A = this chain, B = another copy of it.
Amino acid sequence: MEILITNDDGIYAEGIYALASAMRKVGNVTVVAPDTQRSAVGHAITITDPLRVVEAKRNGKFFGYAASGTPADCVKLGIKAIMKKRPDLVVSGVNLGGNQAYNILYSGTVSGATEGALLGIPSMAVSLDTFVKPDFAPSAAFAAKLAVQMMKRRVPAGTLINVNVPHLPAKRIKGVRVTNQSRTCFNDWFDKRKDPHGNTYYWMTGDYKPEDPDKASDLNALLDGYISVTPIQFDLTDYKFVPELENWGLKFR
B227 touches A236 (CB 8 A): no
* Most chain B Cβ neighbours within 10 Å, of A106, A159, A250, A251: A250
Most buried by B among A114, A159, A238: A238
Instruction: Say whether A43 contacts B201, CB under 8 Å.
Output: no
Residues of B within 8 A of A244 (CB): 154
A238 B233 Cβ-Cβ under 8 A: yes
Complex: A119 Cα to B156 Cα, angstroms = 31
Q: Do B200 and A53 touch across chains, with their CB atoms under 8 A apart?
A: yes
Question: Which of B45, B48, B50, B234 contacts A42 (CB under 8 A)?
Answer: B45
Q: Is A47 touching B42 in the complex (CB atoms < 8 A)?
A: no
Complex CA–CA separation, A119 to B170 (angstroms): 36
Candidates B173, B174, B199, B233; contact of A236 at CB < 8 Å: B233
State the copy count for this chain: 2
A114 near B105 with CB under 8 A, answer: yes
Say yes or no: B53 contacts A245, CB within 8 Å: no
| 0 or 1 for each of A219-253: is its CB under 8 Å from B? (1 = yes) | 00000000101111111111111101110101110
A185 on interface, CB distance cutoff 8 Å = yes
A-B contact pairs, 7 of them (CB 8 A): A41-B44, A50-B193, A50-B201, A146-B250, A173-B252, A180-B235, A180-B237
If A81-B202, A155-B241 are given as contacts, then 9 extra A-B residue pairs at C-beta distance below 8 Å, sorted by A number, are A40-B48, A41-B41, A42-B45, A51-B201, A154-B244, A173-B252, A181-B237, A231-B241, A232-B237
